[in-house]
Structure 1
Amino acid sequence: MSDPGDIRLGHRPLIVADIDEVVLEFLTPFAAFLEAREHTLLPRSFRLTGNIIDRRKGDAVSDVATKALLGAFYAEQDRWQTPASEVGETLAGLSGEADIVFLTAMPPSHAAVRRALLDTLGLSYPLLASEEPKGPLVKQLHGGRDLPLVFVDDILRNLRSVREEVPACLLINLMANADFRALAPPPDAGMHIATDWPEAAKVIRDHWSAANSG
């Protein structure tokens, strides 16, 4: 699914969550995938390009090769990716209070494999797969409703994109892999950091409580 207009929401808060490094582990299984192909992922900077080493040659692979490896990984992601810590039970609890939609930055051609994997893991929330900026997609999805909106992502660019389109949105920066999280640029003022889903849920519920009491 790649059209926000296809998703029907109830009259309650909305939580939009990224997938890679947020709902599913990405960097740890991707590193294992690379190791099986005689490559190594080094946590030297907050990016993939330049950090994937071909062990047979001893140097970093090109941007083109990086994209090819990423595409190969996504094609068989169901063999490698696992849920982020406590995501299933946390989202199950939040789903009693809010609608949940997954927004993943990946080619829609890989969406069917991702959908099947999420369903197998019991994460059967609506899925949008798009390589477009996330801000306009979240704005279209929310539709200007006077209801709380939450966006959870590991990438600062995406958080800024949503803030630009929907300034009232609660923004949470969450990243599963601790090694690369330490290399990430700090979030902007007003963005909340959560180290895991239970902490994110507390930030969300505290925000809702403050909004209701106000």
Structure 2
Amino acid sequence: MAAGRPDDVIRLGHRPLIVSDVDEVVLEFLTPFKLFLESRQHRLLPRSFRLSGNIVDLQNGEAASEAAVKALLDAFYDAQEQWQTPAALVVNALAELSAEADIVFLTAMPPRHAAKRRALLDALGLPYPLLASEEPKGPLVEQLHGGRELPMVFIDDILRNLHSVRDHAPACLLINLMANTEFRALAPVPDAGIHAAADWTEAAPLIRAHFGRWAPRR
């Protein structure tokens, strides 16, 4: 599945919903991207919580231009199956959670890369529906959930995306999770109402507790 109206391409059961980002949440991104950059004579320096300005051309020591960063990202996504691996413990955690909730991946990447991402996720034992979009995530999550009176969880490594979902689905449990500890230390501190999880061993209990607090209206 690629971009489009979520309710046109994904069918949910009458169960809680978990919507998860992919890069740095389900798949390792920064660690393999650093290795990929080294293979292209570039290096990612942990100077701030962003890519632009921190990717350096090893041939001249200068920061790569915005256009060069975009080209490197595109090349990485074209070869993602050669580089990306599952985040720690995610395969088992999601398999167990899928017994009680629907799971949807919402990945912030150009939809043209969605087919390769779909194939990689399937090969890694992560067969859950995938949406690839560069649009703000809040409206997409709101539309996907469709106003159902069921609990929902959203997991992402970027606060901007968590804020977007909070604005459009205020009852949603928000979890900030980032696999790479080096860059996580540079990330902004989550604000009130956003739960930080170091990994899936911390995220899974938060999700189950949220489901446990929900009771259907009589």
Residue by residue over 1:56-75, the C-alpha shift from the partner in whole angstroms, topping out at 9 and shown as x without a partner, is 00111111111110011001
Match of 1:60 among 39, 63, 67: 63
In the alignment, the residues of structure 1 paired with residue 128 and residue 71 of structure 2 have an alpha-carbon distance, to the nearest angstrom, of 29
Could you tell me which runs of 5 or more consecutive residues in structure 1 were left unpaired when the two chains were aligned: none
* 1:1-214 alignment runs, 5 A limit: 1=1, 2-3=3-4, 4-5=6-7, 6-212=9-215
Q: Does the CA-based 8 Å contact 2:149-2:216 persist in structure 1?
A: no
TM, length-normalised to structure 1:
0.98
- Amino acid across the alignment from 1:11: H
TM, length-normalised to structure 2:
0.96
Q: 1:136 to 1:99 in 2, by over 3 A?
A: same
The runs of at least 4 aligned residues of structure 1 exceeding 4 Å deviation read none
Q: Name the SS for the 1:59 alignment partner.
A: coil
- Amino acid across the alignment from 2:127: S
In the alignment, the residues of structure 2 paired with residue 69 and residue 117 of structure 1 have an alpha-carbon distance, to the nearest angstrom, of 19
In the alignment, the residues of structure 1 paired with residue 182 and residue 107 of structure 2 have an alpha-carbon distance, to the nearest angstrom, of 22
Could you tell me which runs of 5 or more consecutive residues in structure 2 were left unpaired when the two chains were aligned: none
Figure out how many residues of one structure are paired with residues of the other and give that number.
214
Give the CA deviation at 1:213: 10
In the alignment, the residues of structure 1 paired with residue 211 and residue 150 of structure 2 have an alpha-carbon distance, to the nearest angstrom, of 10
Percent of pairs identical after alignment?
A: 71
Give the CA deviation at 1:23: 0.2
Q: CA RMSD in A?
A: 1.2
In the alignment, the residues of structure 1 paired with residue 191 and residue 211 of structure 2 have an alpha-carbon distance, to the nearest angstrom, of 21
Give the CA deviation at 1:211: 2.8
Q: Name the SS for the 2:74 alignment partner.
A: helix
